[in-house]
Chain A
Amino acid sequence: MANSIIHRGTGMAMYFGTLLIVLWLGAAALGDAPFGVINAIYGFWLVQVVFFLATWALFHHMFGGIRYFIWDSVNVLDPVGREWITRLQFIASILLTLAAWAIFVWFK
């Protein structure tokens, strides 16, 4: 049940998070000076923390969507399975977030 709210929460966070894409691409379109400002803001460590959480929100919402596809097709609805698939969703979203950031920080 909590995870249903988390699905909504991550969705709504990303709803407003689209503004980060608009600002990034918009600044790139406008010129070097605005792009420099946005790059400096986005590189600030507290903002990077927000991006880290946003990455998790993105992956968790994605796996949540896949879970709803599985449930919608009348699979894994039994009391044990439905709890496990939720745990699996958290494990997958956390691992993928860490993997994406590991690639970003160390292998880019």
Chain B
Amino acid sequence: MIDKATIANPKTKYGHGGTREFITQRISGALNVLFTIFFVWFVVSLAGADRAQMIETVRNPLVAVGLVALIVNVCIHMRIGMHEVIEDYLDEQKQNRLANAANNAFAVLVALATILAVAKIVFWG
């Protein structure tokens, strides 16, 4: 049963900054509406492009910073989203912890890999 005590107890799977995640999810979600416009422009203008064209676009500081900000914001948003799904469907404690660890690792790795790729393109071509 989920009652007030369960939610207030930080040792249960519910007691991990629920309010903070609620607020963060809505702020990052609102920002994602703006990032969607940028992202769709980016993909539509570069889909099928050759590498030289892609490098030229990504090297634009506004685009590079935009891409990094986008992926960080998206990873924050998707991590919380998956956390909610895990919280809803994985009750067994060990399984729950394992899934959350995998979720955290995935979000961080996606962000880091994208930032690394953008940095490589910007600084070394």
Contact = CB atoms under 8 A, between A and B. Distances in A.
Interface of A: 8, 11-12, 14-15, 18-19, 21-22, 25-26, 28-29, 31-32, 35, 39, 42-43, 55, 58-59, 62, 65-66, 68-69, 72, 100, 103-104, 108
Given A25-B117, A31-B51, A58-B39, 16 more contacts: A12-B81, A15-B78, A18-B74, A19-B110, A22-B113, A25-B118, A28-B51, A29-B118, A39-B48, A59-B36, A62-B32, A65-B29, A65-B33, A100-B40, A108-B44, A108-B45
Contacts, number: 78
A12 B79 CA distance: 10
B30 interface: yes
Contacts of A21: 71, 114
Nearest to B115: A25
A25 B121 contact: yes
A69 B26 contact: yes
Secondary structure of the B contact surface, majority rule = helix
Secondary structure of the A contact surface, majority rule = helix
Nearest to B52: A32
B8 interface: no
